[in-house]
Every structure is written in structure tokens, then in C-alpha cells.
Structure 1
């Protein structure tokens, strides 16, 4: 049963939410959508406009609007305008991965990007933003029609621009965010099939977790056979790194609990044990694995650290997962981890001079830029300040809309 005992050390969360919202206010790009933000919060208009960043900012400022933040509605609408404008492929349908500063779109179509468009449109719909319901309808239709494989009960990963060639690569990262998107779409539309897809993906993911000692394979072939050596020669790849990604195990741990809560009495009894097992493995492999505070980014299949940089999003997901597990179980061990990681984030990741969180630290917990220059978006950090204050279901936008975020 969910715990009624408050989490410890939550007083900083609301203030930090507001500080993050303030940091991102200048994100608008002249082409439309969200610019990549530098470390000081100024927009880098020479960089491409990315669909995933624009969708995340639409989601974040829709949450801000639901929380009553002044000026948030206009910011959400500016990001949404990028999704209905420059980033939308008016010829072939769907969304370009990005558009360069000269207006030329990047090639291809990515499930990862389309999942974030669904999330953004669902949150914007719940926030009452103009045009959001139509965007959500199109985004769900495109994501499901183009990427969903009912035989495999998973989403495919990458098409060419004109939807003629489906790449053989399959990835768990896109499916993880598709679970989040399907839960948000269910909140916004009530479509039960969205919830069914989220459970189907979760069930398959848990199966791979069990088979690999709860270190989740990220990369697969077209038949969904794991490619355990993918990118061994490129371990720092920002989206497809080699090995087990510690932060994704934490993120999956939390998402499993959201799926369970959304299902209610329909939820199978293996969800909570799986969430706990993924959390425990991630902590054992990732936290202070090299003797210094912080989570390593990736490990080999025996748990040996590979990339030891500390990513802000991993710490954010650790806070959120510990809070969710404590809310679900009442186990004080999870509350202690929440306290430990909150203190770590406040000491090392918060940039109290320029704003937001450093997106990457080196092994000595100093700001670094080997993988993520600047502070591109607010998604992980904002959610880490809201999830400990929210129920496990409904999702964040619906919880904000009903005043359930405390």
C-alpha cells in the first residue's frame, strides 16, 4: 500500500521548481520551438532546433501553467508552435528530428522524438492550451501507426524521412519514453489502449531485466535480440551508449510504479518486485562505484563502470525513483536514499549563480561538457522536484491540474 508518511527533506523542492522555471524562460528560437540553452540560460540560436528539446519544454511549461506560474502559458504555446510549425513535416507527416539554423531539417524519423511530442501534447491538452488536443490526436496516431509493432508489443525506433525504410535497430530508450507518453496520453484521453501498450512494453522490459541480472540491455536487432556489444567502441554516445545505463534502470523502476498505479486493481503482482530489483541493481552498480559520490553513467555487463561521468538526469531519476518507491512501500530505506541523493544534488549539481543544474560533472564532481554542453532543457530536473510531491497516478500534468502536487 502507498505510504502516508511524508518524505524527509522536501522543503527545497518547491523553491527549486520555481528556480528552474525561471531559468528556461528565454528558450524561444527565432525559427520557432526551443533553442539549446547555454550554461547561463541564453539561447544558442546557431544550434539546431531539436524536436525532443522543444517537446520537453512544451511539457515543462504546460506543468508550470497548471501550477499557476505567471507567463507559463505563453512559453508553453511558443514551444507548441515549434511542434506545429518548423519541426513538423508537412509533406510526409510526423516530426523532423531537428531543423538547422538555416532552416534545413535533419533526415529521418525517430520514435524517441515522437514519444516526446505525445507527452508534450498530452500535458498541453490538460493545461488547456489552444491546438493541443488536435496535436495530441495526430501525435498518438503517428506514433502508433508508424512505430508500434503489435506482434512484438514494442515500438520500432527509426524510419527514413519519407517512411519508406525502417531501420533494423531497435532500442529500449525510445520505448521507455513511449511508456511515459502512453501514460500521459491515457490521462489526457482516457484511451485504454494507451495503458495496455504501456503495460505490454513494461512486461517485455522486465523480462529482459530478469534475464540479465537486472542490467537492462539498451540495444536490439529487428527481432528484438539484445546487442550487448553495440557501441563498445563509442561508450560515450549521448543516446546509444555501450553497456547498461544506470539512470535508465532507475527511470524504469519509477515508470513501473506509475504503470502499476494507473492499472489499479488490474495491475499484475510482479510489477513492484521488478521495480525494486531494478532500483537495487542500479544503486549497487552505479552509486559511488569508483569511490566518489555520484552515479556512474554506464557499466559493463558485470557491473564494472565504463563511463564514469556524472549526468544530472541520472541523479534526477534517482531522486524520483527513491521517492516513488517510498510512496509505494513506506520502506525507510528508500526515504534514506532520497535524502542522500537530494543532498548530493544540492551540493554538486545546482548552479546557484547562473541557474538550473549542471548537466554533467566529471569524476571529481566538477562541471564538465564531454557529453552535454550547456543546459539544454529542464525536463529531468523539473520532474525530480515534482514527483516526490505527487501521487503515483495520475501523471504529473493530471496531478498538477487537480491540485494533487503538494
Structure 2
């Protein structure tokens, strides 16, 4: 696999742009520190405050732990304690000591709280990054997360993740989701680096073969999100709740961009490991990006990428979510590195110009997480500013190689720095 240095003047090679990304990362990190709660990390409001009754959640705790670990790996002071706090929370109050696995939040409201693959993928990702950061307790947490994935979630027969179970693992949800498998692919890339075990790259490719090279390719490279237990598409899923934050109706352009980037990371990781690597990984990544740009960007006459499309590629939910644009810019940077094609430079600049103008909140801090169909800040789908993970990764990915995974790559950069 070749990567290319663009023949034109690219922002990726511009020192000023690299400094801008780094400065924006520091601003995001400073805001997110306030999310600490006694039992993990919680959701900040649009002013960066925790609500009086704020409760630690596994998703945010895992994402914050992963994000703060990458800050610590870079040599930024003030984050080691936050990583340790996250590891302790995931090893304690957020963990189900009786049945194994993780609750969605501390002190679940009833004893049959379910176990979701989506959350467990983030626990594994957080643990792997904390291991790279060499924090106490991280290896035990990682071992636990891997055991749960192997024991309950990974289906060797399907080559994908089962979706969710009840608390004691005795009942399984009759659903399969692209979203949970997407974040599992991200986690498996990190696990391959941290464990030095290529089985995670084999599993990641099996997921991609099913969800993208199979189903998405058959749908004009727009990601089919919802399936029954036999992997038959559920096209009417959540038709009556189209703006669901995790399982929206129709297709989700933001996930198309995220998958495109992950395919390129997987390709680079397999090449780096000396594994047989199919050429369709890069081809599918380009088609995902191109078609989601075509159908998602400015389809209602205003700039920005809509949240969801119906099966005729018409906008359903025209809100613009910040994470969608983070993933779009990150995918553009990855494709630019992989191909050297100037069109990806144009998209990369366009996405960052839009984020700078509409999402970055220089008065209140962090980013507006959501814009309404007229590109005004709103909170119809996501309230407040709880998410560091997407924007933080968006400012890191353009500065890193396609492989290894982010935490490992940052560790290598730190080790090779001049003394």
C-alpha cells in the first residue's frame, strides 16, 4: 500500500494548520476536564457545567478515559489523574461485579440493566489507550474487556458482534446494528496494536466485509444501519422516531464517513502487519466518502451535512451534528493521505471552514454539538456539550499516520521526539 505526498500545497503539510489543530485540541481538553464526577465522567451542559444531579455514564467515562489517555501520552501535564480516575470508575462503580460486563451508568435504576456491545467497545478502547499510557489498573481492565467480548459479544459464525443482552446474559436482543460494529472495528484496531495479536485485524475485516462490502455496497455505499438477528435489513426501523441519537431511521451520512476512515486504518494496519490485504478496502472507502458527500452535503440548500436520509436519499432529519462533521473532515484527511487526490483537500478545507464558522464555540467553550436545519445552535437531539471524543480525534487524525491506531501512534511519536 502506498501513501502519497500531495503535489499541491496541502493544509496537512502546513505548520500553521498543524499548530491550529493542536491549539484547538488543548481548548477542547481544558473544557472537558469539568466532566469529572466521583464515579466517572458525566455530561456537561452548553456552559461546561455538570447538572446538580449529574450521574456518571459508561459511554462518557470510557470516551473521556480514552481521550485523556491520548493527551497524557503526548506529554500534556494534568491528565494522568483523569485517566486513572476513568480506569478506576470502569473497574468499580460502572462494572457489574456479579454478572460481568458494564452497566450504562452507575447505580442502574433496576437490576436487569442490559449490556450493550456499543458500550463494551468503548470500554475496550479506553482500556487499550490507558495501557499505552502505562496507567495503573489499565491492563487488568483491558483483560476483563477482552474476556467479555470473547465470551458474550463476538460471534465467530456471523463475523460480527451480537448487539445486547440483559444483565445476566440469559436473553439476547433480536437485533444487529452497524453502529455498534463500527465502534467495535475501531476498538479492534487498537486491540491489535496493544496486544500484538492479528486476530483483531481478522475480526475487523470480517465486520467490514459484512456491513460495508456486503450491505453498504449493495445500497450505493450508503450504510444500512439496522438488521434483524439474521442480518436482514430493517428498513423501517425507527420510522416513527427518526431522530434517535443512536438508532435513527434511514441512512446516516456521518457513519459513512466514519466507516470510510476506518477502512483505510484497517488497510494500513493489515499491510503493516504483513497480512493479505484486499484492494477493495481503499476503493470502498472512496465510494463511501464520495456518495455520502453527494447525498449528505447541502442537500437542503444550506451548507452542512444532514443527520439522516431516507431510502430515496432525501433528507429526513436536517439537523447538523458536530460529530458528523468531525468524521467527515477526518475521513477527508485520511483519503488525502492515502490517495494524494486534490478533491479530498478541497473537502477537508470545506469541512473545517464550516466547523470553524458554525460549530466551534469560542465564547461558551468546546463546540456546539448540534445545529438546527438553519445552522443555528439547537438541542433537539443532543443537549449540552458532553462529547470530547469526536472533536478531539478530529484534530488528532490529520497529524497521525493511518496506522498504527491513535494511542499507539502517539506513543511512537513521543518516543521518537528529539531530546
Is the shorter-chain TM-score for this pair beyond 0.5, marking a shared fold?
yes
Please tell me whether the aligned partners of residues 215 and 301 of structure 1 are also in contact (alpha carbons under 8 angstroms). Answer: no
**Aligned counterparts of 1:103 and 1:385: Cα–Cα separation in 2:** 37
Question: 1:227-376, aligned counterparts within 5 Å?
Answer: 227-264=234-271, 265=274, 266-376=276-386
Q: Deviations over 1:299-318 (max 9, x none)?
A: 01111000000000000000
What is the Cα deviation at residue 45 of structure 1? 4.8
Q: How many residues get paired?
A: 404
**Aligned counterparts of 1:247 and 1:194: Cα–Cα separation in 2:** 24
Please tell me whether the aligned partners of residues 88 and 137 of structure 2 are also in contact (alpha carbons under 8 angstroms). Answer: no
SS of alignment partner, residue 403 of structure 1: helix
SS of alignment partner, residue 413 of structure 2: coil
Please tell me whether the aligned partners of residues 112 and 168 of structure 2 are also in contact (alpha carbons under 8 angstroms). Answer: no
Q: Deviations over 1:85-137 (max 9, x none)?
A: 1100000000001235x886771000000000000000000000101011101
Partner residue in 1 for 2:21: 13
Of the three residues 102, 105, 110, the one matched with 1:98 is: 105
Please tell me whether the aligned partners of residues 98 and 106 of structure 1 are also in contact (alpha carbons under 8 angstroms). Answer: no
SS of alignment partner, residue 49 of structure 1: coil
Partner residue in 2 for 1:72: 79
Of the three residues 142, 147, 157, the one matched with 1:141 is: 147
Q: Does 1:114 align with 2:124?
A: no
Moved more, 105-114 or 116-125: 105-114
**Aligned counterparts of 2:10 and 2:202: Cα–Cα separation in 1:** 31
Partner residue in 2 for 1:223: 230
Q: CA RMSD in A?
A: 1.6
Q: Does 1:62 align with 2:72?
A: no
Q: Does 1:197 align with 2:198?
A: no
SS of alignment partner, residue 317 of structure 2: coil
In structure 2, list runs of 5 or more residues that go unmatched.
none
TM-score of the aligned structures, taking structure 2 as reference length: 0.94
**Aligned counterparts of 2:10 and 2:139: Cα–Cα separation in 1:** 35
In structure 1, list runs of 5 or more residues that go unmatched.
none
Partner residue in 2 for 1:185: 191
SS of alignment partner, residue 37 of structure 1: coil
SS of alignment partner, residue 71 of structure 1: coil
Q: Deviations over 1:132-191 (max 9, x none)?
A: 011101101101210111111010101000110011011010000000000011111111
Q: Deviations over 1:26-51 (max 9, x none)?
A: 11112x11011111212225243211
Please tell me whether the aligned partners of residues 246 and 286 of structure 1 are also in contact (alpha carbons under 8 angstroms). Answer: yes
**Aligned counterparts of 1:240 and 1:270: Cα–Cα separation in 2:** 27
TM-score of the aligned structures, taking structure 1 as reference length: 0.97
**Aligned counterparts of 1:28 and 1:160: Cα–Cα separation in 2:** 28
